[in-house]
Structure 1
Amino acid sequence: MVLRTVYISPTIDDELRDQAFKLHTSKNDLIRKYIELGMAANKQKKPSVVGAAVGHKPVAAKKAKLKAAPK
């Protein structure tokens, strides 16, 4: 496993705690499972739609911007 640090809202943390308690598991296990499910769902969608959902520009737009930047 690889250690990553992420920041989540207190509301999400509370929801994770409640779900973990009900499912008799840890918040870490739930987070890993939700990441896996989210990544699997993203494979079903167009990258530009997924990127927009998290505030990113489509890859093609980034590449065009990089090419236009002076050296």
Structure 2
Amino acid sequence: MDAFILSASVSCVVLALIYYLWKLLNWEAESKPMSFSNYIAPRANPIYHNATQNHGENSFVWKLIGPAFHVDKLKHMVP
């Protein structure tokens, strides 16, 4: 019974800490003013915006899990 009470209290403390940390991060994000324009690309999709700024319009961003090539998986796919 003591272990249950201890784990429940630790869980409540961790949840409260996460809640207040989330509020702090939201406050920091909302405190930065956004310029009054229709150009929202840096905030809406920062990965693609940074890629196009650094590498130009023909940039490539990998969106899948990992770019690994497994020959064994290919053997099972080929009849």
Query: Given the two structures, how large is their TM-score scaled by the length of structure 2?
Result: 0.33
Higher relative contact order (CA 8 A, sep 6+): 1
